[in-house]
Amino acid sequence: MSPSFLSRLARTSLCGVLALAPLAAPASAAPINDKFKSTVASFVSEHIDDWVAVYKDFHTHPELGLQETRSAGIIAAELRTLGFEVTEGIGQTGVVGILRNGKGPLVMVRADMDALPLQEKTGLDYASTVQTDWRGENTYVMHACGHDAHMAIFLATAQTLVDMKKDWKGTLMFVAQPAEEGGGGASKMMADDIFGKFGVPDYGFALHVGPSAYDTVQIVKGQMNSFAGGFDIVFNGIGGHGSRPSTTIDPVMMASKFVVDLQSVVSREKPEQEFGVISVGAIQAGSAGNIIPDTARVRGTVRWYKPAVGEKLLAGVKRTAEAIVAMAGAPDAEISVRSGGTAVFNDPDLSEKTLAAMSKVLPADKVYFAAPTTGSEDYGEFLKAFSNSVYFRVGVYDPALFDETGAPLDVLKVPGNHSPFFAPVPAPTIETGVTAMTTAVVNVMAK
């Protein structure tokens, strides 16, 4: 994308904002101006060292999903110190902080708290060496998805907003969510009736950090990521000696065929112009080279943008498994195919409005509309209750590592989320995140 294209986008979006009808609680004046920009910039530079220390502390002490008691405790204490009414234990380890500041909209800001079960290899002096129990096994733990940065930015944003209280009105709902990485944390908070207890937000904002330049913010207008489903299939065979396969029904053969044939569902059945992916991430069978085992287990993930594509892919997974069982003359398989995670949709008007505001505070050519990603994110569970929300992305690496289109010059130098080498540059990442999030919030709450 050329710089001129970026600035054209920014201009277009600004025009879009001027034409927008007011939403739930309209700002009475243009809130995001040079004064706001300089106030935020000086507050951020005054406090960035503290926030980096908070980030490094979270990074050194990662916790897996639904085990985030230390992180939740720090967040609850910090929010209380800032004057929020804090409720803990929403969705098991989740935290909700409410701050009332006059009549105005209810605005949710959400961060996730959980880390991942892998061993950190960054070599940083604040790297994690934590190990814990995970599903009955010991594992290393690392903040490899950047949720430590999300928590630091979340607390820094709360502090900045409290300092700027005279510039906005309404109620803040700061939500620290557990177990985003597959543990159903958002669903658990919804099951605990978060919005029944604290109100349905008029606006919602969340962010995710990732492997792009740390001075950039990307917003996707509309659907920003994929729906997620998965499968867990146990092929049942008849075990026996590896030298006499005719006396067995070999589940390893069935699993192998299944893994290969699945890809013809993607290449032959999915509409060519639509996005859809099926990936097998785990195969387990057998214990020795000369034993044909009696079971083989295959687990995988399915991602799509359009619901009809998801239905087709999931049906294809099930049909392929059943056909392989029939082909082998095997006993019935245990077939579990599920459609789980919902996609995140950004409200198009609020996306325009938020991008225009951020473009006044951050370099305009560094804040731009981007294409959807193929990942998933359970923030979408919250959007079953309201839709006026924007979830944006913030980069974490030195801009010198990217070309003018934002593409990495060497992909090996910019490890992505879930890599054991994922290593955001703390200060500039947090600066961009706090500035962008504070701008997004004040933009809809200005006096």
Binding site for Zn ion (CB under 5 A): 145
**Any binding-site annotation on 59?**
no
Amino acid identity, position 367: V
Given the complex with Zn ion, which of 99 and 344 has the nearer CB atom?
A: 344
Which of 318, 324, 308, 306 has the alpha carbon at shortest distance from 265? 318
Least CB distance from residue 145 to Zn ion, whole Å? 3
Q: What is the DSSP string of 58-97?
A: HHHS---TT--HHHHHHHHHHHHHTT-EEEEEETTTEEEE
End-to-end alpha carbon distance in the chain: 36
Given the complex with Zn ion, which of 132 and 373 has the nearer CB atom?
A: 373
Least CB distance from residue 181 to Zn ion, whole Å? 5
Q: In which residue are the tokens 């193929």 written?
A: 374
Given the complex with Zn ion, which of 147 and 353 has the nearer CB atom?
A: 147
DSSP letter assigned to residue 276: E
Rounded CA-CA distance 378/181 in Å is: 8
**Any binding-site annotation on 15?**
no
Given the complex with Zn ion, which of 112 and 215 has the nearer CB atom?
A: 112
Q: Which two tokens stand for residue 130?
A: 């934590």
Least CB distance from residue 108 to Zn ion, whole Å? 18
CB 105 within 8 A of CB 388: no
**Any binding-site annotation on 145?**
yes
Which of 177, 168, 176, 152 has the alpha carbon at shortest distance from 97? 176
Q: Find all residues with CB under 8 Å of 288, minimum gap 6, and list them.
A: none
Given the complex with Zn ion, which of 344 and 442 has the nearer CB atom?
A: 344
Rounded CA-CA distance 66/301 in Å is: 22
Least CB distance from residue 373 to Zn ion, whole Å? 11
Given the complex with Zn ion, which of 145 and 313 has the nearer CB atom?
A: 145
Least CB distance from residue 136 to Zn ion, whole Å? 22
Backbone angles phi, psi at 391, to 5 degrees: -115, 115
**Any binding-site annotation on 418?**
yes
Q: Which two tokens stand for residue 344?
A: 């995140």
Least CB distance from residue 186 to Zn ion, whole Å? 12
CA distances from 52 to 111, 165, 232, 361 (A): 17, 23, 41, 21
Residue nearest to Zn ion (CB): 145
**Any binding-site annotation on 150?**
no
Question: What are the binding residues for Mn(2+)?
Answer: 145, 147, 181, 208, 418
